[in-house]
Amino acid sequence: MTQVARTPRSEPGRTGSGGLAARVSLGRRFTPVSTEFLLIASTALLLTVFGLVMVLSATSATAVSRGESPLDGALRQGLFAVLGIPLMFVISRVPVDVLKKLAWPALFGAVALQLLVFTPLGVEDGGNRNWIRIAGFSLQPSEFLKLALALWIAYVLLRKQAMLGTWHHVFIPVVPVSALAIGTVLAGKDLGTSMVLVMVLLGCLFFSGVKLRLFIIPVLLGITAVIALAITSPDRMRRITATCDSMADYEGDCYQSIHGIWGMASGGVFGVGLGNSQEKYGWLPAAGNDFIFAIVGEELGLIGCLVVLALLMFFTVGAFHIIRKTDDPFIRVAAGGIVVWIVGQAVLNIGVVIGVFPVMGVPLPFMSQGGTALLAVLIACGVLLAFARTLPAGEPRAADGGRSAGRGKVTR
């Protein structure tokens, strides 16, 4: 008798290997994001929207006095937000290995862009030559240098991970190359941005796990350099030593600080109301830029200031959770440099507004008017979100009775 071969049929309720692979692929694609991802993304979006509202309020009065539309400042800022927010989520999908390969090109590109400030494209403002003007738009290349420096230092220290116990492997080439990059900003007389770049360098070294004695040396070198730059500049020394707790120097170096404090004080607990600031009517210089936190305090009061501080705190918590949970030294060092940049710059800006620090021209991340600064911070948040996707997740639950399909960790 001739036997007929039968093709095995799939049992009811079961799928073929192709269907299983497709289901697993879709499952990984739509895996819920981590808490760190949500914290960073949500706070970045909320601070950006909050900043657009405050830029509109802070710049509308002076725009009308110049015969311009009151929406001009907010629209320009909004253009960079519309560009930066989608770019943040696109970058969040970039694999970490690609970010590592981009470290050297990013640093070279950022330094080359910074050198354009010394060409005819360069623009000087307030004694600092740190901007370029292209097609009617002013750009600040040093903002991109902050992110590029963090990624580059993280990549170099990753390659030297087993040799961080000796000083010359820690210092070379990190400190000389970083000093050259920071020097391109110092050459434009922008001490505030240079201090932030030094903070990025020190933050990366700290989170790389170098020995404390090796970390102290660059700290001392950085402090010595800042003191030397302050002493050698009469203008900087005058602003640093100015006593702004009285009206003695009201018309001089203390004018901006005094009006910033007056704005904060007049707001009280609940503020005078959104749009009702008096300081923005020509009294407070840079109301939409470096002193936008004073307008927040005046219009929205202590409550508005606490909201900003709370959002920055949640952002910091999300970033530090990435640093704590990751097993990748590159992610730990780069994330450390980025969070030190953003949070440290926010502390400097708020300290200037409340009179703790002298005026140094450092914007408030996410909120101050300045498209380049906003775009650079959103790109940096995209890098943090890409790092957050690599954090280990729990074991996947299988379709058949909740049994695990595997014991390995799944990365997003």
**Segments forming the whole domain that contains residue 210:** 34-105+142-388
* Per-residue tokens: 50: 């909050």
Q: What is the mean pLDDT of residues 247-265?
A: 74
- Residue 362, CA distances (Å) to 110, 233, 247 in order: 19, 18, 25
User: With contact defined as beta carbons under 8 Å apart, do 298 and 271 qualify?
Assistant: yes
147 — pLDDT class (breaks 50, 70, 90): very high
Residue 20 vs residue 375, higher pLDDT = 375
Confirm whether 407 is domain-assigned.
no
Stretch among 15-19, 121-125, 400-404 having the lowest mean pLDDT = 400-404
15 — pLDDT class (breaks 50, 70, 90): very low
Q: Find all residues with CB under 8 Å of 179, minimum gap 6, and list them.
A: none
64: pLDDT strictly greater than 70: yes
Mean pLDDT of the chain: 82
Strand partners for 411: 392
Q: Which amino acid is at 366?
A: F
pLDDT at 37: 94
252 — pLDDT class (breaks 50, 70, 90): low
With CA atoms as reference, report the closest residue to 279 among 2, 1, 58: 58
Residue identified by tokens 């994330």 is 335
* Per-residue tokens: 180: 């050259």
Confirm whether 78 is domain-assigned.
yes
Confirm whether 16 is domain-assigned.
no
User: With contact defined as beta carbons under 8 Å apart, do 333 and 204 qualify?
Assistant: yes
Confirm whether 328 is domain-assigned.
yes
H helices present in 67-126, as ranges: 72-91, 96-101, 103-115
pLDDT at 368: 92
Query: Which pLDDT tens digit goes with each residue over 114-138?
Result: 999 998 888 887 778 888 988 777 8
User: With contact defined as beta carbons under 8 Å apart, do 188 and 129 qualify?
Assistant: yes
User: With contact defined as beta carbons under 8 Å apart, do 181 and 198 qualify?
Assistant: no
Confirm whether 200 is domain-assigned.
yes
Confirm whether 8 is domain-assigned.
no
User: With contact defined as beta carbons under 8 Å apart, do 318 and 40 qualify?
Assistant: yes
Q: What is the mean pLDDT of residues 1-15?
A: 48
Query: Which pLDDT tens digit goes with each residue over 25-59?
Result: 444 555 677 899 999 999 999 999 999 999 999 98
Distance CA 264, CA 135 (A): 37
Domain count along the chain? 1
* Per-residue tokens: 314: 């949640």
Q: Find all residues with CB under 8 Å of 84, minimum gap 6, and list them.
A: 48, 374, 375, 377, 378, 379
359: pLDDT strictly greater than 90: no
Confirm whether 14 is domain-assigned.
no
CA torsion angle for 305, 196, 383, 292 (degrees, to 10)?
Answer: 30
pLDDT at 143: 93
Confirm whether 218 is domain-assigned.
yes
